[in-house]
Amino acid sequence: MTRKYFGTDGVRGRVGESPITPDFAMRLGYAAGKALLKQALESEGDRPSVLIGKDTRLSGYMLESALEAGFSAAGVDVCLVGPMPTPAVAYLTRALRLQAGIVISASHNPYYDNGIKFFSAHGTKLPDEVELAIEAGVDQPMACVSSADLGRAMRIEDARGRYIEFCKSTFPNDLDLRGLKIVVDCAHGAAYHIAPSVFHELGAEVVAIGAQPNGLNINDGVGATAPKALCDAVLAHRADLGIALDGDADRVQMVDAQGRLYDGDQVLYAIVRNRARHAPVKGVVGTLMSNLALEHALCKLGVPFARAAVGDRYVVEMLREKGWLYGGENSGHILALDRHTTGDGIIAALQVLAALREVGGELSELLGGLRLYPQKLINVPMARGFPWRDDPQIQCALGQVEARIAGRGRVLLRASGTEPLLRVMVEGEDAQEVATTAESLAAVVREVAA
């Protein structure tokens, strides 16, 4: 059975257009609720309860209410936490022993998009087969349990404090952040009332930017997808470090005192290199988009490296298959499974800060000479379902590029799992050649896919 609604990170799209509509959200909640009830009956468990969190998009209120109605109609209790980072929902679902967690967020996308994604009782993304089972129920007729069996709704008032304490618990007890001035960019997103407090309570002087959400400004010129605001703020405030999160705070980028930006590959390497000082690291999982220089640098440390499909869910799956702990994407999704079950921007930043406190020096020194190869990524609009793999012009152009840069770089074409785009990526040692090659290949794709 193929996916109809779920992409690589739940259901996502433009608000008001299928599937991001209130009627779909209600049917999705009902279908998920019926699936959870079936599991409860099979295991002779109690009535299931779920947790719903959201980011700061205005549309989150509408979708939250619709999901709540769907779950209630199915006879499932709902716990509401309001604006809360995606990884916080994963943690709270596990900590409160709930059967599922739901996040209403489109992550790094603009405010006019939104999405719905699920976590299991263990704080991990739902397995593909469970998502497919929910999909199968979405298009079925919706009913309602009897009035006495309707699900109840309650608000978890201390969710923010619980998650702040959890984040702090991942930082060594014998260390603190006193003497550090840190700029924290919350992207006007879900971490606006959480991230500054985490770093402040560990002793840092915090300058918060992107922390005034109005429902429409999430990711707008701030955050991990627009890091120039952070670079400028670090220099303007003469800060020691900058941390940029995205709208739902599951990805991170960092900036040093000189205003230099460090992406997910570099953050991951800094964490792994420091972990390797204490104990052997079994291996690291990246994705098809991970920089080739990261793979080479890990090889020098004696750390095996494997590539998963793009999407943090696939990184987690491969980590669990191999029994490894560390992985991530260059976009800033960082997995440290010895600290959390899912990618967490705040916790990833804390691991880098812990390494800085342990070894001293600057962020650049943690990288031990790692220099990323130039990489050019071009997003080409493409109709959903366009058969680009079977197009002879695209495949011919791809073959020519691969032959030209063989041994000196790599090229990758992949369809986005969240947007109607074909991503064209070229990477190599020569920046000019990389840029020229990427543009020429993207031009072919544009001509064919237009």
Q: Is the Cβ–Cβ distance between 370 and 274 less than 8 Å? A: no
| Boundary (domain end) residue, out of 259, 279, 307 | 259
Over range 339-351, report the average pLDDT: 97
In this structure, the answer to whether residues 254 and 125 fall within a common structural domain is no
Separation between Cα atoms, residue 113 and residue 124, nearest integer Å: 23
**Residue 428: which CATH number?**
3.30.310.50
Separation between Cα atoms, residue 10 and residue 275, nearest integer Å: 32
In this structure, the answer to whether residues 16 and 146 fall within a common structural domain is yes
Residue 354 lies in a domain: yes
| Unique residue bearing structure tokens 């490296």 | 305
In this structure, the answer to whether residues 271 and 246 fall within a common structural domain is no
Query: Does 1 have pLDDT greater than 60?
Result: no
DSSP 148: G
In this structure, the answer to whether residues 351 and 433 fall within a common structural domain is no
For 247-282, the pLDDT digits (tens) are 999 999 999 999 999 999 999 999 999 999 999 999
Query: Does 48 have pLDDT greater than 90?
Result: yes
Other CB atoms within a 10 A radius of the CB of residue 405 amount to: 18
Active-site residue list: 107
For 192-246, the pLDDT digits (tens) are 999 999 999 999 999 999 999 999 999 999 999 999 999 999 999 999 999 999 9
**For residues 83 and 361, which has the higher predicted lDDT (pLDDT)?**
83
- In percent, the amount of the chain with pLDDT more than 70 equals 98
Which pLDDT score, from 0 to 100, does residue 25 have? 97
In this structure, the answer to whether residues 305 and 185 fall within a common structural domain is no
**Residue 294: which CATH number?**
3.40.120.10
| Boundary (domain end) residue, out of 211, 243, 259 | 259
CA dihedral 171, 247, 424, 307 (to 10 degrees): 30
Helix, strand, coil abundance in the chain, percent, nearest 5: 40, 20, 40
- In percent, the amount of the chain with pLDDT more than 90 equals 83
Query: Does 374 have pLDDT greater than 60?
Result: yes
Other CB atoms within a 10 A radius of the CB of residue 16 amount to: 12
| Boundary (domain end) residue, out of 306, 341, 366 | 366
- Mapped onto helix, strand or coil, the DSSP state of residue 154 is strand
In this structure, the answer to whether residues 185 and 320 fall within a common structural domain is no
Domain count for the chain, please give it: 4
In this structure, the answer to whether residues 230 and 316 fall within a common structural domain is no
Q: Is the Cβ–Cβ distance between 176 and 355 less than 8 Å? A: no
Residue 388 lies in a domain: yes
Query: Does 312 have pLDDT greater than 90?
Result: no
In this structure, the answer to whether residues 360 and 229 fall within a common structural domain is no
CA 257 from chain centre, in angstroms, equals: 26
Separation between Cα atoms, residue 130 and residue 133, nearest integer Å: 5
**For residues 287 and 132, which has the higher predicted lDDT (pLDDT)?**
287
**CB-based contacts of 279, cutoff 8 Å, min separation 6:** none
Q: Which H or E element spans position 319? A: helix 312-322
DSSP 21: S
When mean pLDDT is compared across 96-100, 196-200, 364-368, the lowest value belongs to 364-368
Query: Does 305 have pLDDT greater than 90?
Result: yes
In this structure, the answer to whether residues 26 and 101 fall within a common structural domain is yes
End-to-end CA distance of the chain: 29
Of 206, 213, 251, 212, give the one whose Cα is nearest residue 233. 206
In this structure, the answer to whether residues 68 and 97 fall within a common structural domain is yes
Radius of gyration of the CA atoms of the chain, in A: 22
Question: Where residue 50 falls among pLDDT bands split at 50, 70, 90?
Answer: very high
Residue 168 lies in a domain: no
Give the burial class of 401: count Cβ atoms within 10 A of its Cβ; 0-12 exposed, 13-18 middle, 19 or more buried.
Answer: buried
Which pLDDT score, from 0 to 100, does residue 450 have? 67
When mean pLDDT is compared across 81-85, 106-110, 385-389, the lowest value belongs to 385-389
Residue 185 lies in a domain: yes
H helical segments located in 75-169: 86-95, 128-138, 159-169
**For residues 132 and 25, which has the higher predicted lDDT (pLDDT)?**
25
Query: Does 44 have pLDDT greater than 80?
Result: no
Structural domain boundaries, residue 431: 375-449
Residue 164 lies in a domain: no
Give the burial class of 156: count Cβ atoms within 10 A of its Cβ; 0-12 exposed, 13-18 middle, 19 or more buried.
Answer: middle
Residue 270 lies in a domain: yes
Over range 337-348, report the average pLDDT: 96
- Mapped onto helix, strand or coil, the DSSP state of residue 391 is coil
In this structure, the answer to whether residues 153 and 226 fall within a common structural domain is no
Six token digits for residue 128: 């593909």
